[in-house]
Structure 1
Amino acid sequence: MTYTEPADPQPEIQLAGGDVTAGVVRVGDTVRRPVGTNSPLVHALLRHLEEAGFAGAPRFLGIDAAGREVLTFVPGEVAGRPRPAWLADEERLTSVGRLVRAYHEAVAGFVLPEGVRADFGFSEPPGMPPAPPYPPELVGHLDYTPDNIVFRDGEAVGLIDFDMARPTSRVDELMNAMMYWAPLADPADADPPLHEVDVPRRCRLLADAYGMSETDRARLVEVALLRTRRSWFSMRQIAEEQGGGWARMWEEGVGDRIKRRETWLERHAVAIDAALTAP
Protein backbone atom coordinates (compact mmCIF):
# COMPACT_ATOMS: atom_id res chain seq x y z
CA MET A 1 0.00 0.00 0.00
CA THR A 2 1.16 3.55 -0.73
CA TYR A 3 1.99 5.82 2.21
CA THR A 4 0.53 9.32 2.09
CA GLU A 5 2.95 11.93 3.40
CA PRO A 6 1.67 14.60 5.82
CA ALA A 7 1.23 18.13 4.46
CA ASP A 8 4.27 19.49 6.30
CA PRO A 9 7.53 17.92 5.05
CA GLN A 10 9.88 16.60 7.73
CA PRO A 11 13.69 16.34 7.54
CA GLU A 12 15.35 12.93 7.22
CA ILE A 13 17.58 12.01 10.18
CA GLN A 14 20.05 9.15 9.80
CA LEU A 15 19.54 6.51 12.50
CA ALA A 16 22.70 5.13 14.05
CA GLY A 17 23.19 1.76 15.73
CA GLY A 18 23.13 -1.80 14.52
CA ASP A 19 25.47 -3.42 12.03
CA VAL A 20 23.49 -3.22 8.78
CA THR A 21 21.58 0.08 8.80
CA ALA A 22 22.38 1.73 5.46
CA GLY A 23 19.46 3.85 4.29
CA VAL A 24 17.52 3.74 7.57
CA VAL A 25 16.27 7.21 8.49
CA ARG A 26 13.74 8.83 10.77
CA VAL A 27 11.19 11.23 9.29
CA GLY A 28 9.01 12.78 11.97
CA ASP A 29 7.27 9.95 13.81
CA THR A 30 8.14 7.41 11.13
CA VAL A 31 11.14 5.32 10.13
CA ARG A 32 12.00 4.71 6.47
CA ARG A 33 13.87 1.55 5.51
CA PRO A 34 14.90 0.00 2.18
CA VAL A 35 12.62 -2.80 1.05
CA GLY A 36 14.41 -6.18 1.14
CA THR A 37 13.81 -9.70 -0.05
CA ASN A 38 12.21 -10.64 3.29
CA SER A 39 9.94 -7.59 3.42
CA PRO A 40 6.71 -9.37 2.31
CA LEU A 41 7.01 -11.68 5.34
CA VAL A 42 7.90 -8.80 7.68
CA HIS A 43 4.99 -6.64 6.51
CA ALA A 44 2.50 -9.48 6.97
CA LEU A 45 3.94 -10.20 10.40
CA LEU A 46 3.73 -6.57 11.53
CA ARG A 47 0.13 -6.36 10.34
CA HIS A 48 -0.69 -9.47 12.38
CA LEU A 49 0.98 -8.04 15.49
CA GLU A 50 -1.03 -4.84 15.11
CA GLU A 51 -4.26 -6.82 14.77
CA ALA A 52 -3.28 -8.91 17.82
CA GLY A 53 -2.85 -5.74 19.88
CA PHE A 54 0.87 -6.30 20.51
CA ALA A 55 2.26 -2.89 21.50
CA GLY A 56 5.90 -3.94 21.34
CA ALA A 57 6.48 -3.64 17.58
CA PRO A 58 6.37 -0.85 14.99
CA ARG A 59 3.34 -0.55 12.73
CA PHE A 60 3.76 -0.97 8.99
CA LEU A 61 2.25 2.11 7.30
CA GLY A 62 3.03 1.44 3.65
CA ILE A 63 5.60 2.30 0.97
CA ASP A 64 6.65 5.91 0.37
CA ALA A 65 7.31 7.67 -2.93
CA ALA A 66 11.00 6.67 -2.74
CA GLY A 67 10.05 2.99 -2.57
CA ARG A 68 10.96 2.62 1.11
CA GLU A 69 8.87 0.89 3.76
CA VAL A 70 7.36 3.26 6.32
CA LEU A 71 7.12 2.17 9.95
CA THR A 72 6.06 3.97 13.10
CA PHE A 73 8.95 5.16 15.26
CA VAL A 74 9.16 3.30 18.59
CA PRO A 75 10.25 5.79 21.29
CA GLY A 76 12.65 4.82 24.07
CA GLU A 77 16.30 3.94 24.50
CA VAL A 78 18.39 1.19 22.96
CA ALA A 79 21.87 0.07 23.96
CA GLY A 80 23.91 1.80 21.28
CA ARG A 81 27.68 1.95 21.06
CA PRO A 82 29.60 2.33 23.25
CA ARG A 83 27.36 -0.01 25.22
CA PRO A 84 25.88 1.51 28.41
CA ALA A 85 26.65 -0.01 31.81
CA TRP A 86 22.97 -0.93 32.22
CA LEU A 87 23.43 -3.72 29.67
CA ALA A 88 24.50 -5.91 32.61
CA ASP A 89 21.48 -5.02 34.76
CA GLU A 90 19.62 -8.20 35.69
CA GLU A 91 16.23 -6.51 35.96
CA ARG A 92 16.57 -5.35 32.36
CA LEU A 93 17.66 -8.86 31.41
CA THR A 94 14.53 -10.42 32.89
CA SER A 95 12.37 -7.82 31.16
CA VAL A 96 13.86 -9.00 27.86
CA GLY A 97 12.66 -12.51 28.67
CA ARG A 98 9.16 -11.21 29.42
CA LEU A 99 9.08 -9.20 26.19
CA VAL A 100 10.09 -12.21 24.10
CA ARG A 101 7.33 -14.22 25.78
CA ALA A 102 4.76 -11.51 25.06
CA TYR A 103 5.85 -11.43 21.44
CA HIS A 104 5.54 -15.21 21.17
CA GLU A 105 2.04 -15.13 22.61
CA ALA A 106 1.03 -12.43 20.10
CA VAL A 107 2.56 -14.21 17.10
CA ALA A 108 1.31 -17.70 17.99
CA GLY A 109 -1.65 -17.55 15.61
CA PHE A 110 0.21 -16.04 12.67
CA VAL A 111 0.24 -18.07 9.45
CA LEU A 112 2.32 -16.98 6.48
CA PRO A 113 0.09 -15.75 3.64
CA GLU A 114 0.02 -17.89 0.52
CA GLY A 115 3.09 -17.27 -1.61
CA VAL A 116 5.06 -15.59 1.19
CA ARG A 117 8.14 -17.26 2.59
CA ALA A 118 11.34 -16.28 4.38
CA ASP A 119 13.84 -14.95 1.85
CA PHE A 120 17.16 -13.39 2.84
CA GLY A 121 18.54 -13.02 -0.64
CA PHE A 122 21.51 -15.35 -0.32
CA SER A 123 22.11 -19.01 -1.02
CA GLU A 124 23.01 -21.70 1.50
CA PRO A 125 26.74 -22.37 1.09
CA PRO A 126 28.20 -25.82 0.42
CA GLY A 127 29.38 -27.65 3.50
CA MET A 128 26.85 -25.98 5.78
CA PRO A 129 26.53 -27.99 9.03
CA PRO A 130 23.08 -29.37 9.89
CA ALA A 131 20.42 -27.24 11.54
CA PRO A 132 18.89 -28.20 14.89
CA PRO A 133 16.37 -31.02 14.34
CA TYR A 134 13.45 -29.21 15.98
CA PRO A 135 10.48 -28.10 13.84
CA PRO A 136 9.32 -24.47 13.61
CA GLU A 137 6.70 -23.45 16.16
CA LEU A 138 6.18 -19.79 15.28
CA VAL A 139 7.61 -16.92 13.25
CA GLY A 140 10.47 -15.61 15.36
CA HIS A 141 12.34 -12.32 15.47
CA LEU A 142 15.76 -14.00 15.69
CA ASP A 143 17.78 -10.81 16.07
CA TYR A 144 17.55 -9.83 19.73
CA THR A 145 20.66 -7.65 19.73
CA PRO A 146 20.91 -4.78 22.23
CA ASP A 147 20.36 -2.43 19.26
CA ASN A 148 16.96 -4.01 18.53
CA ILE A 149 15.28 -3.91 21.95
CA VAL A 150 13.69 -0.66 23.09
CA PHE A 151 13.55 0.19 26.80
CA ARG A 152 11.46 2.69 28.71
CA ASP A 153 11.99 3.28 32.42
CA GLY A 154 14.39 0.33 32.53
CA GLU A 155 11.88 -2.12 31.05
CA ALA A 156 12.13 -3.82 27.65
CA VAL A 157 8.97 -2.73 25.85
CA GLY A 158 9.63 -2.91 22.12
CA LEU A 159 11.26 -4.91 19.33
CA ILE A 160 12.55 -3.30 16.15
CA ASP A 161 14.29 -4.57 13.00
CA PHE A 162 12.35 -7.69 12.03
CA ASP A 163 14.50 -8.30 8.94
CA MET A 164 15.62 -11.74 10.15
CA ALA A 165 12.09 -12.94 11.00
CA ARG A 166 11.29 -16.48 9.87
CA PRO A 167 9.63 -19.70 11.06
CA THR A 168 11.64 -21.15 13.92
CA SER A 169 11.44 -22.92 17.27
CA ARG A 170 11.08 -21.33 20.68
CA VAL A 171 14.44 -22.74 21.77
CA ASP A 172 16.13 -21.08 18.78
CA GLU A 173 14.57 -17.78 19.80
CA LEU A 174 15.73 -18.09 23.40
CA MET A 175 19.20 -19.13 22.29
CA ASN A 176 19.37 -16.02 20.11
CA ALA A 177 18.36 -13.78 23.03
CA MET A 178 20.88 -15.45 25.34
CA MET A 179 23.62 -15.10 22.74
CA TYR A 180 23.45 -11.32 23.10
CA TRP A 181 22.18 -10.81 26.64
CA ALA A 182 23.86 -13.57 28.69
CA PRO A 183 26.05 -13.46 26.54
CA LEU A 184 26.93 -16.77 24.91
CA ALA A 185 30.38 -15.66 23.77
CA ASP A 186 34.03 -15.74 24.64
CA PRO A 187 34.40 -12.95 27.26
CA ALA A 188 37.06 -11.36 25.03
CA ASP A 189 34.33 -10.72 22.46
CA ALA A 190 31.51 -9.73 24.81
CA ASP A 191 30.33 -6.14 25.09
CA PRO A 192 32.44 -4.42 27.80
CA PRO A 193 29.65 -4.24 30.44
CA LEU A 194 29.27 -8.04 30.12
CA HIS A 195 32.94 -9.05 30.45
CA GLU A 196 32.69 -10.16 34.09
CA VAL A 197 29.09 -11.38 34.38
CA ASP A 198 27.97 -14.86 35.47
CA VAL A 199 26.76 -16.20 32.11
CA PRO A 200 25.07 -19.42 33.33
CA ARG A 201 23.15 -17.40 35.93
CA ARG A 202 22.01 -14.89 33.30
CA CYS A 203 20.86 -17.73 31.04
CA ARG A 204 18.76 -19.06 33.91
CA LEU A 205 17.31 -15.64 34.71
CA LEU A 206 16.25 -15.09 31.10
CA ALA A 207 14.82 -18.61 30.83
CA ASP A 208 12.83 -18.22 34.03
CA ALA A 209 11.50 -14.79 33.03
CA TYR A 210 10.32 -16.23 29.72
CA GLY A 211 8.88 -19.39 31.28
CA MET A 212 11.06 -21.70 29.19
CA SER A 213 9.97 -25.35 29.12
CA GLU A 214 12.08 -28.12 30.63
CA THR A 215 12.41 -29.69 27.19
CA ASP A 216 13.78 -26.51 25.63
CA ARG A 217 16.16 -25.90 28.54
CA ALA A 218 17.68 -29.32 27.91
CA ARG A 219 18.07 -28.52 24.19
CA LEU A 220 19.57 -25.06 24.57
CA VAL A 221 23.28 -25.89 24.51
CA GLU A 222 22.86 -28.30 21.59
CA VAL A 223 21.02 -25.64 19.60
CA ALA A 224 23.60 -22.98 20.48
CA LEU A 225 26.44 -25.14 19.19
CA LEU A 226 24.65 -26.13 15.98
CA ARG A 227 23.61 -22.56 15.23
CA THR A 228 27.11 -21.26 15.94
CA ARG A 229 28.67 -23.76 13.54
CA ARG A 230 26.17 -22.83 10.83
CA SER A 231 26.56 -19.09 11.37
CA TRP A 232 30.23 -19.12 10.33
CA PHE A 233 29.24 -20.46 6.90
CA SER A 234 26.19 -18.23 6.50
CA MET A 235 28.00 -15.05 7.56
CA ARG A 236 30.80 -15.71 5.09
CA GLN A 237 28.30 -16.38 2.31
CA ILE A 238 26.14 -13.32 2.91
CA ALA A 239 29.24 -11.12 3.17
CA GLU A 240 30.37 -12.37 -0.25
CA GLU A 241 26.96 -12.08 -1.90
CA GLN A 242 25.54 -8.90 -0.36
CA GLY A 243 28.59 -6.90 0.71
CA GLY A 244 27.86 -3.68 2.58
CA GLY A 245 27.62 -3.96 6.37
CA TRP A 246 27.81 -7.75 6.13
CA ALA A 247 31.17 -7.58 4.33
CA ARG A 248 32.42 -5.02 6.84
CA MET A 249 31.55 -7.32 9.75
CA TRP A 250 33.37 -10.21 8.10
CA GLU A 251 36.42 -8.05 7.41
CA GLU A 252 36.40 -6.93 11.05
CA GLY A 253 36.68 -10.54 12.21
CA VAL A 254 33.15 -11.77 12.93
CA GLY A 255 34.17 -15.20 11.58
CA ASP A 256 36.94 -15.46 14.17
CA ARG A 257 34.52 -14.39 16.91
CA ILE A 258 32.11 -17.13 15.86
CA LYS A 259 34.88 -19.74 16.08
CA ARG A 260 35.83 -18.49 19.54
CA ARG A 261 32.17 -18.69 20.59
CA GLU A 262 32.03 -22.32 19.49
CA THR A 263 35.13 -23.17 21.54
CA TRP A 264 33.77 -21.27 24.55
CA LEU A 265 30.39 -23.02 24.32
CA GLU A 266 32.03 -26.43 24.21
CA ARG A 267 34.08 -25.57 27.29
CA HIS A 268 31.14 -24.20 29.30
CA ALA A 269 28.33 -26.44 28.05
CA VAL A 270 28.02 -28.40 31.29
CA ALA A 271 27.79 -25.28 33.48
CA ILE A 272 25.19 -23.62 31.24
CA ASP A 273 23.10 -26.78 31.02
CA ALA A 274 23.25 -27.26 34.80
CA ALA A 275 22.14 -23.68 35.45
CA LEU A 276 19.20 -23.99 33.07
CA THR A 277 17.96 -27.39 34.23
CA ALA A 278 18.57 -27.27 37.99
CA PRO A 279 15.37 -27.53 40.08
Structure 2
Amino acid sequence: MPEEEPLTGGNTTVVVRVGATVRRPVGPWTPAVHDLLNHLTAVGFAGSPQVLGIDDADREILEFVPGDVGRLTEAEPLPAWFRTPESCWSIGRWIRDFQSAQAGLVVDPAKPWRRAEGTALGPDDVIVHHDVSPYNTVRRPDGSLVVLDWDFARPGDPIEDLAWAAWRWVPLMTGRRWHAEYGVGADEDVRRRQERNLAGLLDGYGPSKRQRRALADAIARQMSGHAADLDDMARSDPVFARLVDLDYARAARRDAEWWVHADLARSSLLAR
Protein backbone atom coordinates (compact mmCIF):
# COMPACT_ATOMS: atom_id res chain seq x y z
CA MET A 1 0.00 0.00 0.00
CA PRO A 2 1.30 3.52 -0.73
CA GLU A 3 2.50 5.60 2.20
CA GLU A 4 -0.15 7.49 4.19
CA GLU A 5 0.11 11.28 3.95
CA PRO A 6 -1.76 13.30 6.62
CA LEU A 7 -3.95 16.03 5.13
CA THR A 8 -4.14 19.33 6.95
CA GLY A 9 -7.10 21.59 7.52
CA GLY A 10 -9.54 19.36 9.41
CA ASN A 11 -10.67 20.35 12.89
CA THR A 12 -12.47 17.21 13.98
CA THR A 13 -11.17 14.14 12.09
CA VAL A 14 -7.84 12.61 11.11
CA VAL A 15 -7.74 12.41 7.31
CA VAL A 16 -4.93 10.82 5.28
CA ARG A 17 -4.18 10.48 1.59
CA VAL A 18 -3.19 7.06 0.29
CA GLY A 19 -2.27 7.25 -3.37
CA ALA A 20 -5.34 8.46 -5.29
CA THR A 21 -7.63 7.92 -2.29
CA VAL A 22 -8.52 9.58 1.00
CA ARG A 23 -9.16 7.60 4.20
CA ARG A 24 -11.42 8.96 6.97
CA PRO A 25 -12.89 7.50 10.18
CA VAL A 26 -16.43 6.13 9.96
CA GLY A 27 -19.34 6.59 12.37
CA PRO A 28 -22.90 5.34 12.80
CA TRP A 29 -23.94 7.93 10.22
CA THR A 30 -21.60 6.64 7.49
CA PRO A 31 -24.07 4.20 5.81
CA ALA A 32 -26.65 6.98 5.33
CA VAL A 33 -23.99 9.35 3.99
CA HIS A 34 -22.68 6.71 1.59
CA ASP A 35 -26.20 6.09 0.28
CA LEU A 36 -26.40 9.80 -0.50
CA LEU A 37 -22.96 10.01 -2.12
CA ASN A 38 -23.58 6.87 -4.17
CA HIS A 39 -26.86 8.32 -5.41
CA LEU A 40 -25.11 11.56 -6.41
CA THR A 41 -22.47 9.60 -8.32
CA ALA A 42 -25.11 7.45 -10.03
CA VAL A 43 -27.02 10.49 -11.36
CA GLY A 44 -23.86 12.15 -12.64
CA PHE A 45 -23.43 14.89 -10.03
CA ALA A 46 -19.73 15.78 -10.13
CA GLY A 47 -19.62 18.03 -7.07
CA SER A 48 -19.14 15.35 -4.41
CA PRO A 49 -16.40 12.75 -3.84
CA GLN A 50 -16.92 9.18 -4.98
CA VAL A 51 -17.16 6.46 -2.32
CA LEU A 52 -14.74 3.58 -2.98
CA GLY A 53 -15.43 1.39 0.06
CA ILE A 54 -14.16 0.67 3.58
CA ASP A 55 -10.55 -0.33 4.24
CA ASP A 56 -9.10 -2.91 6.64
CA ALA A 57 -8.72 -0.23 9.33
CA ASP A 58 -12.48 0.45 9.19
CA ARG A 59 -11.99 3.81 7.45
CA GLU A 60 -14.06 5.01 4.53
CA ILE A 61 -12.23 5.20 1.21
CA LEU A 62 -13.03 8.21 -0.96
CA GLU A 63 -11.47 9.47 -4.17
CA PHE A 64 -8.80 12.13 -3.74
CA VAL A 65 -9.89 15.34 -5.46
CA PRO A 66 -6.98 17.48 -6.74
CA GLY A 67 -7.24 21.26 -6.84
CA ASP A 68 -7.15 24.38 -4.70
CA VAL A 69 -8.74 24.24 -1.24
CA GLY A 70 -10.24 27.27 0.51
CA ARG A 71 -8.01 27.08 3.55
CA LEU A 72 -8.67 29.65 6.27
CA THR A 73 -5.80 30.50 8.59
CA GLU A 74 -4.03 33.74 9.42
CA ALA A 75 -0.78 32.23 8.15
CA GLU A 76 -2.42 30.95 4.95
CA PRO A 77 -5.35 33.24 4.08
CA LEU A 78 -8.18 32.25 1.78
CA PRO A 79 -6.92 32.03 -1.83
CA ALA A 80 -7.87 35.04 -3.93
CA TRP A 81 -10.50 33.33 -6.12
CA PHE A 82 -12.45 32.12 -3.07
CA ARG A 83 -13.01 35.74 -1.98
CA THR A 84 -14.79 36.86 -5.13
CA PRO A 85 -18.41 37.24 -6.27
CA GLU A 86 -17.59 34.59 -8.88
CA SER A 87 -16.76 32.08 -6.17
CA CYS A 88 -19.97 32.91 -4.32
CA TRP A 89 -21.96 32.50 -7.54
CA SER A 90 -20.29 29.13 -8.10
CA ILE A 91 -21.06 27.82 -4.62
CA GLY A 92 -24.64 29.07 -4.90
CA ARG A 93 -25.00 27.11 -8.14
CA TRP A 94 -23.32 24.10 -6.50
CA ILE A 95 -25.99 24.13 -3.75
CA ARG A 96 -28.79 24.39 -6.32
CA ASP A 97 -27.33 21.55 -8.41
CA PHE A 98 -26.78 19.39 -5.31
CA GLN A 99 -30.40 19.81 -4.31
CA SER A 100 -31.64 19.09 -7.85
CA ALA A 101 -29.48 15.95 -8.03
CA GLN A 102 -31.35 14.50 -5.05
CA ALA A 103 -34.42 13.79 -7.20
CA GLY A 104 -35.24 10.11 -6.76
CA LEU A 105 -33.07 9.70 -3.65
CA VAL A 106 -34.40 6.96 -1.36
CA VAL A 107 -33.62 7.61 2.30
CA ASP A 108 -33.62 4.58 4.61
CA PRO A 109 -35.27 5.70 7.89
CA ALA A 110 -33.43 2.90 9.74
CA LYS A 111 -30.07 4.52 9.06
CA PRO A 112 -29.19 7.40 11.43
CA TRP A 113 -27.60 10.67 10.43
CA ARG A 114 -25.15 12.51 12.65
CA ARG A 115 -27.07 14.87 14.94
CA ALA A 116 -30.35 13.28 13.79
CA GLU A 117 -32.10 9.95 14.02
CA GLY A 118 -32.88 8.11 10.82
CA THR A 119 -35.89 9.66 9.15
CA ALA A 120 -37.69 9.83 5.85
CA LEU A 121 -37.57 13.05 3.88
CA GLY A 122 -40.54 15.35 4.34
CA PRO A 123 -42.29 16.68 1.23
CA ASP A 124 -40.28 19.93 1.23
CA ASP A 125 -37.04 18.54 2.71
CA VAL A 126 -33.69 17.82 1.11
CA ILE A 127 -30.50 16.39 2.53
CA VAL A 128 -28.54 19.39 3.80
CA HIS A 129 -24.74 19.23 3.84
CA HIS A 130 -24.55 21.57 6.87
CA ASP A 131 -20.97 22.76 6.29
CA VAL A 132 -20.68 24.16 2.76
CA SER A 133 -17.67 26.28 3.66
CA PRO A 134 -14.53 27.37 1.75
CA TYR A 135 -12.35 25.08 3.88
CA ASN A 136 -14.45 22.10 2.72
CA THR A 137 -14.37 23.07 -0.95
CA VAL A 138 -11.91 22.04 -3.67
CA ARG A 139 -11.73 23.99 -6.92
CA ARG A 140 -10.60 21.60 -9.61
CA PRO A 141 -8.21 22.75 -12.36
CA ASP A 142 -11.21 23.06 -14.72
CA GLY A 143 -12.92 25.48 -12.28
CA SER A 144 -15.62 23.08 -11.04
CA LEU A 145 -16.20 22.64 -7.32
CA VAL A 146 -16.27 19.58 -5.07
CA VAL A 147 -17.47 19.88 -1.49
CA LEU A 148 -15.95 17.52 1.07
CA ASP A 149 -16.70 16.39 4.66
CA TRP A 150 -20.24 15.02 4.58
CA ASP A 151 -20.37 13.75 8.18
CA PHE A 152 -23.04 16.25 9.28
CA ALA A 153 -25.38 15.76 6.31
CA ARG A 154 -29.00 15.16 7.33
CA PRO A 155 -32.54 16.06 6.24
CA GLY A 156 -33.59 19.69 6.52
CA ASP A 157 -34.92 22.80 4.80
CA PRO A 158 -33.24 23.65 1.46
CA ILE A 159 -32.54 27.18 2.73
CA GLU A 160 -30.16 25.89 5.41
CA ASP A 161 -27.18 25.30 3.10
CA LEU A 162 -27.78 28.65 1.40
CA ALA A 163 -27.86 30.42 4.78
CA TRP A 164 -24.70 28.66 5.94
CA ALA A 165 -22.90 29.54 2.71
CA ALA A 166 -23.90 33.18 3.13
CA TRP A 167 -22.32 33.14 6.58
CA ARG A 168 -19.12 31.40 5.54
CA TRP A 169 -18.53 32.55 1.95
CA VAL A 170 -19.70 36.18 1.83
CA PRO A 171 -18.68 36.14 4.74
CA LEU A 172 -21.17 37.58 7.22
CA MET A 173 -18.98 37.95 10.29
CA THR A 174 -18.03 40.54 12.85
CA GLY A 175 -14.75 41.28 14.59
CA ARG A 176 -11.34 41.56 12.97
CA ARG A 177 -10.01 38.02 13.41
CA TRP A 178 -11.69 36.87 10.20
CA HIS A 179 -10.12 39.74 8.23
CA ALA A 180 -6.73 38.02 8.27
CA GLU A 181 -8.20 34.60 7.45
CA TYR A 182 -10.24 35.94 4.52
CA GLY A 183 -7.47 38.19 3.21
CA VAL A 184 -9.23 41.51 3.83
CA GLY A 185 -6.96 44.39 2.84
CA ALA A 186 -6.25 47.25 5.23
CA ASP A 187 -8.14 49.72 3.03
CA GLU A 188 -10.81 47.35 1.74
CA ASP A 189 -14.49 48.31 1.92
CA VAL A 190 -15.80 45.27 3.80
CA ARG A 191 -19.45 46.20 3.35
CA ARG A 192 -18.92 46.48 -0.41
CA ARG A 193 -17.33 43.02 -0.51
CA GLN A 194 -20.23 41.57 1.48
CA GLU A 195 -22.84 43.14 -0.80
CA ARG A 196 -21.17 41.92 -3.99
CA ASN A 197 -20.53 38.43 -2.66
CA LEU A 198 -24.05 38.04 -1.28
CA ALA A 199 -25.46 39.17 -4.63
CA GLY A 200 -23.27 36.60 -6.39
CA LEU A 201 -24.39 33.81 -4.04
CA LEU A 202 -28.07 34.61 -4.57
CA ASP A 203 -27.68 34.87 -8.33
CA GLY A 204 -25.96 31.48 -8.41
CA TYR A 205 -28.62 29.77 -6.30
CA GLY A 206 -31.73 31.53 -7.60
CA PRO A 207 -33.86 31.64 -4.42
CA SER A 208 -37.61 32.06 -4.59
CA LYS A 209 -39.18 35.25 -3.25
CA ARG A 210 -40.18 33.35 -0.12
CA GLN A 211 -36.61 32.13 0.39
CA ARG A 212 -35.20 35.64 -0.04
CA ARG A 213 -37.56 36.96 2.62
CA ALA A 214 -36.71 34.06 4.95
CA LEU A 215 -32.94 34.12 4.41
CA ALA A 216 -31.95 36.76 6.98
CA ASP A 217 -33.61 34.80 9.79
CA ALA A 218 -32.23 31.52 8.43
CA ILE A 219 -28.69 32.93 8.54
CA ALA A 220 -29.12 33.93 12.19
CA ARG A 221 -30.43 30.43 13.00
CA GLN A 222 -27.40 28.81 11.38
CA MET A 223 -25.07 30.96 13.47
CA SER A 224 -26.82 30.42 16.81
CA GLY A 225 -27.60 26.78 16.03
CA HIS A 226 -23.95 26.07 15.25
CA ALA A 227 -22.94 27.56 18.59
CA ALA A 228 -25.50 25.38 20.40
CA ASP A 229 -24.34 22.27 18.51
CA LEU A 230 -20.71 22.92 19.46
CA ASP A 231 -21.61 23.35 23.12
CA ASP A 232 -23.68 20.17 23.08
CA MET A 233 -21.04 18.02 21.39
CA ALA A 234 -18.33 19.46 23.63
CA ARG A 235 -19.99 17.81 26.64
CA SER A 236 -19.03 14.34 25.39
CA ASP A 237 -16.33 14.83 22.75
CA PRO A 238 -12.95 16.38 23.61
CA VAL A 239 -12.42 17.38 19.97
CA PHE A 240 -15.42 19.70 20.11
CA ALA A 241 -14.53 20.80 23.63
CA ARG A 242 -11.28 22.08 22.13
CA LEU A 243 -13.21 24.06 19.51
CA VAL A 244 -15.32 25.63 22.23
CA ASP A 245 -12.16 26.51 24.15
CA LEU A 246 -10.84 28.15 20.98
CA ASP A 247 -13.87 30.49 20.99
CA TYR A 248 -15.72 29.00 18.00
CA ALA A 249 -19.09 28.90 19.76
CA ARG A 250 -18.75 32.41 21.20
CA ALA A 251 -17.68 33.74 17.80
CA ALA A 252 -20.78 32.22 16.19
CA ARG A 253 -23.00 33.86 18.81
CA ARG A 254 -21.28 37.19 18.26
CA ASP A 255 -21.91 36.85 14.55
CA ALA A 256 -25.60 36.11 15.19
CA GLU A 257 -25.97 39.10 17.51
CA TRP A 258 -24.30 41.37 14.96
CA TRP A 259 -26.24 39.99 12.00
CA VAL A 260 -29.73 40.54 13.41
CA HIS A 261 -28.91 44.26 13.67
CA ALA A 262 -26.88 44.57 10.46
CA ASP A 263 -28.12 46.84 7.68
CA LEU A 264 -27.29 44.15 5.15
CA ALA A 265 -29.82 41.81 6.80
CA ARG A 266 -32.56 44.22 5.74
CA SER A 267 -31.12 45.16 2.35
CA SER A 268 -33.01 45.09 -0.93
CA LEU A 269 -31.02 41.97 -1.89
CA LEU A 270 -33.21 39.98 0.52
CA ALA A 271 -36.50 41.66 -0.29
CA ARG A 272 -36.89 41.23 -4.06
Shorter-normalised TM range: 0.7 to 0.9
Which residue does 1:3 correspond to in 2? Answer: none
**Matched-pair contact (CA < 8 Å) for 1:149–1:157:** yes
Match runs of 1:260-271 below 5 Å? 260-268=254-262, 270-271=263-264
Decide which of 20, 36, 40 is 2:27's aligned counterpart.
36
By how many angstroms is 1:187 displaced?
Answer: 4.2
Is structure 2 residue 20 aligned with structure 1 residue 20? no
Is structure 2 residue 265 aligned with structure 1 residue 272? yes
Distance in 1 between the 2:147 and 2:158 partners?
16
Which residue does 1:89 correspond to in 2? Answer: 84
Which residue does 1:172 correspond to in 2? Answer: 160
**Matched-pair contact (CA < 8 Å) for 1:184–1:261:** yes
Distance change (3 Å), C-alpha of 1:137 and 1:34: same
Percent identical pairs in the alignment equals 33
Q: For 2:260, what is the secondary structure of its paired residue?
A: helix
By how many angstroms is 1:54 displaced?
Answer: 0.8
Q: What are structure 1's unaligned runs of at least 5 residues?
A: 1-8, 123-133
Match runs of 1:194-233 below 5 Å? 194=184, 196=190, 198-233=193-228
**Matched-pair contact (CA < 8 Å) for 1:76–1:152:** yes
Bigger shift: residues 209-218 or 88-97: 88-97
Distance in 2 between the 1:248 and 1:25 partners?
21
Aligned length: 257
By how many angstroms is 1:100 displaced?
Answer: 1.5
Which residue does 1:144 correspond to in 2? Answer: 132
Q: What are structure 2's unaligned runs of at least 5 residues?
A: none
**Matched-pair contact (CA < 8 Å) for 1:203–1:275:** no
**Matched-pair contact (CA < 8 Å) for 1:217–1:273:** no
Distance change (3 Å), C-alpha of 1:171 and 1:25: same
List per-residue Cα deviations over 1:201-256 (Å, max 9, x = no partner).
Answer: 32222011111111111001111222322322221111221112x22211111122
Q: For 2:130, what is the secondary structure of its paired residue?
A: coil
Decide which of 14, 33, 52 is 2:43's aligned counterpart.
52
Distance in 1 between the 2:96 and 2:229 partners?
27
By how many angstroms is 1:90 displaced?
Answer: 1.8
**Matched-pair contact (CA < 8 Å) for 2:139–2:146:** yes
Is structure 2 residue 146 aligned with structure 1 residue 155? no
User: Which amino acid in 2 is paired with 1:276?
Assistant: L
